Copies of this chain bind each other. A is one copy, B any other.
Amino acid sequence: MLNKFLKKEKPIIKDDKLNIKAMSGVLELKPAEQIEFSKMKKRIVETFEKFGFIPLDVATIERENVLLAKAGGDTEKEIYRIKKGDKDLALRFDLTVPLARYVAANYNDITFPFKRYQIGKVFRGERPQKGRFREFYQCDIDILGDGKLSIKNDAEIPSVIYSIFSKLNIGPFQILINNRKILAGLAAELNLSDKTSEVLRIIDKLKKIGEEKVSELLMVENISKEKTKQILQFVNFEGTNTEKIKFLKNQEISNEVYLEGIEELEIVSDYVKLFGIPDDYYKIDFSITRGLDYYTGTVYETFLVDYPELGSVCSGGRYDNLTEFYSKRKMPGVGISIGLSRLFSQLKDKDFFENKSMSISDVMILPLTDDLEKTIELATIFRRRGIKVEIFLEDQPIKKKFSYADKKGVEFVLVIGEDEIKSGKYTLKNMKSGEQKILPEDEIISFLLSLRSKNI
């Protein structure tokens, strides 16, 4: 009817074959899943903030030469370039490079050590495949020093990981810790200093491809059978954390980097205990190296005990100089990253999320009268008290109102009809159990407030 007045042409569907699914490689969630995703994200934020990390929100689009200052290889292939005028722009592929640019550009406005978190989307033009996304969330924290940064910071990071994964409630997990200096020192001792990078990169694959293949790869690098054996024996040493530290000290290796590595790992290990992380949740593992040359000391990986096939769900480590491509100032740091989209998607595939509710409201009000005065009055009072309230506003028969609440998966429904308005007492119904009570306003408020902690 109105179109006649407001529009000259009727809208037409331009292309009948328009593909309306999300681009492949994007984790597009259904509403109930999205609620679970948001809960996880919120819990991660709360934990980051509890440890004093402040939010940072760097640009999504960067100059291409900034993004690629360091990169090369796969990164350069995977980058999403933007066509627009004569500028060479591109989408960030991680949160670390933009952070490096940010601290270099804003050095004078930052107090160091700088502890920031960012949860944001990053973009990689990979061929989409299971568990690989082109647009996905990373949750990062980093602590950056100006010139130097105490090793004690490396020890606080596992306690952040511990707090997060305890709170996410996805079962037991284990934080594996190592220090790259130890293997670098071992390599030096074996006269393999010029192959340290390759040795660390290959050892990183041990958990995925096994001992035999790792031996083969080391062979390709012209590392002798004898040395390969020594390296594998070393990284495979089993024992308690204390026994492992003792093992390291008992080696007849005296180069400085090796000793530095032991010292750092021991400090981290001692502090981790102080931070109250149970023994089962934390383990020194000499085979963890993180592969990337970027890391220069402590390294972390985190595995879910019930879902080891997910691989590391939270990794990171210490790096010597974040800003080396953007500033002449040296800024060492330590940080971790959680690949939230990937983690969520994998848990979803394992039917981990049982919630099918499309509501985050504490209560839904179903008004049975045409006059909404009392309904709106109560909703406004509830909301002022911090209660999440949804009002069903459609003109539909009472049965449909209840079935809407049911379909949406809201837990409590407040019914406001003529009788309720007259008596000042309202029917609060638990949609799951079917149980209902008739309560005055203030008792409804205290009851709903007592439930609050359950919802996000």
B326, A20: Cβ atoms closer than 8 Å: yes
A8's nearest neighbour on chain B, judged by CB, is B197
A118's nearest neighbour on chain B, judged by CB, is B34
Pick from B5, B29, B293, B388: contact of A6, CB below 8 A: B293
Residues 47-69 of A, flagged 1 when their CB comes within 8 A of B and 0 if not, give 00111101111111111011001
Pick from B52, B80, B105, B135: contact of A388, CB below 8 A: B52
**With A14-B325, A20-B101, A152-B393 in contact, do A5 and B257 touch (Cβ < 8 Å)?**
yes
Q: Does A28 contact B (CB under 8 A)?
A: yes
State the Cβ distance, A218 to closest chain B Cβ, in Å.
17
Tell me, in angstroms, the Cα distance from A22 to B9 when the chains sit together: 43
**With A20-B101, A63-B23, A408-B111 in contact, do A52 and B293 touch (Cβ < 8 Å)?**
no
Q: Does A383 contact B (CB under 8 A)?
A: yes
**With A116-B31, A274-B377, A394-B150 in contact, do A296 and B2 touch (Cβ < 8 Å)?**
yes
B56, A34: Cβ atoms closer than 8 Å: yes
Residues of chain B contacted by A123 (CB below 8 angstroms) = 60-61
Which parts of A110-137 form the interface with B (CB within 8 Å)?
110-111, 113-116, 121, 123, 125, 134-135
Tell me, in angstroms, the Cα distance from A200 to B348 when the chains sit together: 48
Pick from B104, B257, B359, B383: contact of A54, CB below 8 A: B359
Tell me, in angstroms, the Cα distance from A11 to B51 when the chains sit together: 32
A-B contact pairs, 17 of them (CB 8 A): A1-B257, A3-B320, A5-B187, A6-B200, A6-B296, A7-B197, A18-B66, A18-B325, A19-B63, A22-B59, A31-B114, A49-B388, A52-B390, A81-B82, A82-B91, A150-B394, A159-B380
Using CB atoms and an 8 Å cutoff, list the residues of chain A in contact with chain B.
1-8, 11, 13-15, 18-23, 26, 28-32, 34-35, 37-38, 49-52, 54-63, 65-66, 69-70, 80-85, 87, 89, 91, 101-102, 104-106, 109-111, 113-116, 121, 123, 125, 134-135, 145, 149-150, 152-153, 156, 159, 163, 180-181, 184-185, 187-188, 193-194, 196-197, 200, 256-257, 260, 271, 274-276, 293, 296-297, 320-321, 324-328, 358-361, 364, 372-373, 376-377, 380, 383, 386-391, 393-395, 404, 407-408, 456
